[in-house]
Amino acid sequence: MSPDIVLFAVVIVAATALFGWSCFRRFRLITLGRDEDRFDKIGERLKNTLVYAFGQRRVLRRPFGINHVVLYWSFLILFLANAEFVLHGLFPAYVSLSRLPTGLYYTLAFIFDLASLLALLAVLVALSRRLFLPPPHIEARSRDSFVILSLVAVLMIAFFGVHASEIAQGTEAAARFMPVSALVAAAFMSGAPLDSLVGAAGFFWWLHALVLLGFLNYLPYSKHLHILTAIPNCYFRRLDNVKTQSREEFTAGNTYGVERVEQFTWKDLFDSYSCTECGRCSDACPATFTGKPLDPRLVVHDIKANLLKNGSQIKNKTDRVLPLIGGGQVGSVSEEVIWECTTCGACVEECPVFIEQYPRIIDMRRHLVEMQARFPDDLSTLFENMEQRSNPWGMAPAERTKWTADMSIRPFEAGKTEYLFFIGCAGALSARSRETTRSIARILDAAGISWGILGRDELCCGDSVRRLGNEFVFDRMAEENIKLFTEKGITRMITQCPHCFSSFHDDYRQYGLELEVVHHTELISRLLKESRLKLNHTVDLGNVVFHDSCYLGRYHQIYEAPREIVASVTGRAPIEMERHHSRSFCCGGGGGHMWMEEHVGKLINVARIEQALEKDPATICVSCPYCMTMLEDGLKDKNADDKVRVLDVAEIVARAL
């Protein structure tokens, strides 16, 4: 089958030019973003691209992801088929499958036929899911989705139309190897006059050509832009875990944080182009789950919409059409949304194409705090206390040693003590978490670890202020801590709090501090394995449900250490909640939310406690002082604190000594 070559050439040139122009317009805007180096480690990046883009590993984490994999791979295969289709249409005498060696020709014909069927089925499944099942997320039934799915379906039908009518005419040499097309021919075209078969072939050929080119030109203007961007987005992903923010340089004349969309990096902007609105981040987000306006997917979408709306203004350096923050419409993120994030990292963890949602929220917080001094009232006291007293409550430094009351605790001295036990503000100052601290101290002694403390000289690590966008204060706190650690000669550190742990492990590394930091759960697990810590007896704590700390789990992949400890002490593995490990649900205390009230929707800690109570626990085991406070408060809220207790992993171990 060959069309009118001249007409087809005109159509092809026009459609390709239009597509090229659309892509140029879209991608030129990406270059407005700030620089960021994502061009290193080519080998590792290629490997990631294979695993996550072509291997679709993250897509497959949801059962329905298999449908996407089928569609995706069919598309990759059919890309060849369509290339042949277009080139054959233009140069019928030179390019044709049938000019290949027979074996290869038949094989490809078979593969293309099968891939088209799979693509059609996958599209039908996707359409039925959207139409007949409860929508997986709010955007599932968007016009965009139906347009694109219909286009793909028509494209596949046209493919079968072309080949079936050729088979019916007897002009397709590979007919035996195209079972689907042959079936269509047998079912609908057998006995049809040659005229109508030729007419049908022409009709389907042009239908295929026009839908294909229409599809191509629809892409840049829809969420299906991801077909072009998702693979490079996996290539340019952050190779380490997303667990820290970039530093800022404090010199006169600089601006801080992000207020205008082009202050994001090119990669942040590229992220926004890569979003397919699949809604997995929305499902994972504790704020979205509890009915707050924050939805990480919408934040990413707003960044894209803002860039598109303001693109030409940015290039021409004229006034913006729409502010990035507080514009009250699509393409603008509200301040409320910016403050609702707990930085739990569930969105980043879920995204199949490695979009970094929550770090963009911190970028905008930085602008609000550092350039505008605008933040929720709750935070005024926190910021003052952190700066004046280096702890969130503004308590006097002398309070930091109160937990040692009847214990003989040594100060850290380089050369004499091996580890610094960094207690952290909660561990030293909160009455409840002091119990955890005392348990850890007993465990360390029982295992014969050489350790000491900084006592009243200890300062806050600054985690909360950093996540809240107060980078300036964090920067000062970090410098002070590093000075202290250097003076004291500290090289190995044990932390109680996952937030201190993560800060010293990653944030401080940006300042050149290379400490060996270990969280108490990891250390205890190691001591048990090496038999340096011996348990006297097992402890019965009833049903023990384990709650993952975001900053240990998602941030540092420490999932098993605390579970193994619980198993050693109680004699059986802890019970998992529905959301656990990398899918765990935040306690509501991260990202500075420990110090903020939730005014909208359900309380996150109460939502988490409800999930825990479904498992009928007697004990909820945690490994973070924030989780401890949030979950205990949640229990009180549900009037369940007389039946269920919250214990830190260390407290559980101390009971077995």
Q: Which residues bind another protein (CB under 8 A)?
A: 250-252, 254-256, 369-373, 375, 377, 380, 383-384, 388, 396-398, 402, 405, 431, 434, 472
CA distance 501 to 517: 7
Q: Of all helices (H) and strands (E), which one includes residue 494?
A: strand 492-495
Q: What is the CA radius of gyration of the chain?
A: 30
- Residue closer to another protein by CB (options 171, 372) is 372
Distance between CA atoms of 197 and 214, rounded to whole angstroms?
A: 25
| Closer of 26 and 367 to another protein (Cβ) | 367
In the complex with another protein, the residue whose CB is nearer, 232 or 397, is 397
Specify the residue, 561 or 644, whose C-beta has the smaller distance to another protein.
Answer: 644
- Give the CA angle between residues 212, 217, 221 to the nearest 5°: 135
State the nearest-atom distance from the C-beta of 426 to another protein, in Å: 14
Q: What is the DSSP letter of 35?
A: P
CA distances (Å), 503 to each of 62, 160, 255, 300, in order?
32, 58, 24, 26
Buried b (16+ CB within 10 A) or exposed e, 155-180: bbbbbbbbbbbbbbbeebebbebbeb
Minimum CB–partner distance for residue 52 and another protein (Å): 37
The terminus-to-terminus CA distance of the chain in angstroms comes to: 83
Least distance between another protein and beta carbon 269 (Å): 24
φ, ψ at 28 (rounded to 5°): -60, -35
**How are strands ordered across the β-sheet holding 419-422?**
451-452, 419-422, 492-495, 516-519
Considering the complex, state which of residue 390 and residue 570 has its C-beta at the smaller distance from another protein.
390
Smallest distance from another protein to CB 468, Å? 12
Residue type, 626: Y
**Half-sphere exposure (Cβ direction) of 479: Cα atoms closer than 13 Å:** 7
Decide whether 117 or 386 has the Cβ nearer to another protein.
Answer: 386
Neighbours of 560 (CB within 10 A): 13
**Smallest gap from residue 379 Cβ to another protein (A):** 9
Closest alpha carbon to 549 in 602, 475, 498, 601: 498
Nearest to another protein of 6, 431 (CB atom): 431
Q: In angstroms, what is the minimal distance from the CB of 380 to another protein?
A: 6
Q: Closest distance between another protein and the C-beta of residue 421, in Å?
A: 19
Nearer to another protein, 64 or 472 (CB): 472
Beta carbon nearer to another protein, 305 or 386: 386
Q: How far is the CB of 146 from another protein (least distance, A)?
A: 48
CA pair distance 603, 600, nearest whole angstrom:
8
Q: Nearest distance from residue 324's CB to another protein, in Å?
A: 18
